[in-house]
């Protein structure tokens, strides 16, 4: 942001933006033990498949706490299960339910990711912090905290559909974790909140250009997993992943401060077509 006039109030506002948090998410990536599966007799395969299909179908149909299956591309895995749940306890129950199924004997976990849907409130935070500072309230005091909670309650109510979504019914998914840079000369977390607000506004404007073509779900993972955020992109045209992520590389928030982990791309399919997947064929979406 060279050449821009510095905001004299930037250093007076709290550094940490407010967030709204919703559904917990677990991504599970597996390799299928194909040789062991093919070595089973037809009767055993059918018995295991029937039970696995019933299990995943019941998870898939639960609109409050949904799960979905994805056929992965590349060497990082064959199958990905994604679970949205209201609590970590619910995620644990989903994980254990799968782990104790006979089908799990033919799966080799490759990695996983735990996070919680997060809506960052940079714009609202800066506005609120300025209003409270103008009232001569001190950050962290009981009165300040009450004002913040009132605002969060309003925001939370209007954001319910985004905090507790169904898993988008789109054919393709791109998932990746990311961090913000903490380097020797550039450090996202040392920048004043108003400068981060400006960068995130620019970042968000790019995403809006893709409205209707991609559904983006951001989840926070600080304290939950090895990266700071997880990003899920859902679309019916996979090329949108390349175009969106590439375009975002050029905004300051990504070009200077973005660090990206491994990317996972998969095809969503109905649990009813698990048998097709296990036959080594591309499973249908519907």
Catalytic residue IDs:
176
SS3 of the chain: helix, strand, coil, percent, to 5: 40, 25, 30
Count CB atoms within 10 A of the CB of residue 268: 20
Residue located via tokens 């299928």: 32
270 membership: H or E segment, kind and range: none
Count CB atoms within 10 A of the CB of residue 130: 14
CA distance 244 to 241: 5
Phi, psi of 190 (to 5 degrees): -95, -5
Q: Which two tokens stand for residue 47?
A: 């018995």
Q: Which two tokens stand for residue 151?
A: 């605002």
Q: Is residue 44 left, alpha or beta, with left meaning phi > 0 and alpha meaning psi from -120 to 50?
A: alpha
Q: Residues 263, 77: contact at Cβ < 8 Å? A: no
Q: Residues 199, 206: contact at Cβ < 8 Å? A: no
Q: Residues 175, 231: contact at Cβ < 8 Å? A: yes
Contacts of 130 (CB under 8 A, 6+ apart): 9, 13
CA 123 from chain centre, in angstroms, equals 21
Phi, psi of 66 (to 5 degrees): -85, 160
């Amino acid at each position: 942001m060279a050449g821009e006039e510095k905001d004299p109030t930037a250093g007076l506002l709290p550094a940490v933006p407010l967030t709204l948090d919703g559904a917990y998410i677990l991504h599970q990536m597996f390799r299928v033990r194909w040789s062991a599966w093919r070595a089973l007799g037809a009767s055993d395969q059918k018995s295991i498949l029937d039970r696995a299909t019933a299990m995943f179908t019941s998870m898939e149909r639960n609109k409050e706490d949904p799960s979905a299956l994805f056929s992965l591309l590349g060497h990082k895995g064959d199958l990905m299960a994604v679970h949205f749940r209201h609590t970590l306890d619910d995620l644990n129950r989903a994980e254990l339910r799968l782990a104790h199924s006979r089908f799990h004997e033919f799966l080799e976990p490759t990695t996983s990711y735990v996070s919680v849907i997060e809506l960052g409130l940079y714009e609202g935070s800066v506005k609120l912090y300025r209003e409270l500072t103008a009232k001569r309230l001190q950050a962290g005091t009981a009165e300040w905290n009450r004002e913040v909670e009132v605002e969060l309650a309003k925001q939370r109510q209007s954001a319910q559909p985004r905090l507790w979504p169904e898993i988008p019914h789109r054919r393709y998914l791109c998932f990746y974790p990311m961090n913000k840079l903490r380097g020797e000369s550039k450090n996202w977390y040392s920048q004043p909140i108003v400068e981060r607000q400006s960068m995130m506004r620019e970042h968000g404007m790019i995403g809006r250009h893709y409205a209707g073509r991609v559904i983006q779900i951001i989840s926070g993972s600080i304290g939950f997993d090895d990266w700071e955020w997880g990003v899920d992109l859902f679309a019916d045209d996979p090329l949108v992943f390349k175009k969106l992520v590439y375009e975002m590389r050029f905004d300051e928030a990504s070009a200077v401060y973005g660090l990206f982990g491994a990317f996972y791309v998969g095809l969503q399919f109905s649990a009813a077509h698990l048998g097709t997947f296990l036959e080594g064929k591309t499973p249908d979406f519907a």
